[in-house]
Amino acid sequence: MLLSQFKAIGRELSARGLVTSHSGNLSVRFDERMVITRRGSMLGSLTEQDLIETGVNKNDRFTPLASSELQVHRAIYRATKAQAIVHAHPPHATALSMVEKEIVPKDEWYNVIGRVPVIGWGQEVKPGSFYNEISEALKCRYVAMLYGHGCFAVGQLLEEAFSFTTVLEEAAKVLCLLKSLNSNGLEQKK
């Protein structure tokens, strides 16, 4: 059953262009253990071997196989009540993260995700970096962006975290369209 959940969300992320062939990662927590996608796995075609079980607080023999974002997932689980995490690379939201310090939906999605902070703005971002800042931001919101990299969304289920990821990308698309219209001399109605 767990594999089918990971596969369904991985396929959707891939089909919607929210990850590239080998980017993004998923995890779920079970008390002091977690299942996370393998380093370099293809979310669009996950297999049983792509799911790595390891500790939330300590390493074990499977830790080296886990996603390069393991440290971020661990920090989020330690700081929040999240039971699932989706890390994706939504293109419109990622583009906005390089020009805005926060992404503020201008449509109905504001009521779902509110203001989305951009962590590490203007700094060099590497996998596993800014884990304290990301986990702190997710204490009081469902999704946070990492500058020029991607988003981390939390939920009680993978499906819920996936939903917040898609909401962020839809809101970012609207913002990008508005910016495009404004740059072409069209005024935004107030």
Q: Are 93 and 145 in contact (CB under 8 A)?
A: yes
* Series of mean pLDDT values for 10-residue runs along the chain (190 residues): 96 97 96 96 96 96 94 98 98 97 92 96 90 97 96 98 98 94 62
Out of 3.40.50.1370, 1.10.287.70, 3.40.225.10, 3.40.190.10, the CATH code matching 2-183 is 3.40.225.10
Residue with tokens 């596969």: 7
What is the phi-psi region of residue 121: left when phi exceeds 0, alpha when psi lies from -120 to 50, beta otherwise? beta
Helix, strand, or coil here: 155?
A: strand
Query: Taking the domains of the chain in order of start, what are their residue ranges?
Result: 2-183
User: Do the beta carbons of residue 82 and residue 34 sit within 8 Å?
Assistant: no
pTM over 0.75: yes
Task: Mark out the alpha helices in the chain (DSSP H runs).
Answer: 2-15, 70-79, 91-97, 110-113, 131-137, 158-183
Residue-level pLDDT at 184 = 61
pLDDT recorded at residue 182: 80
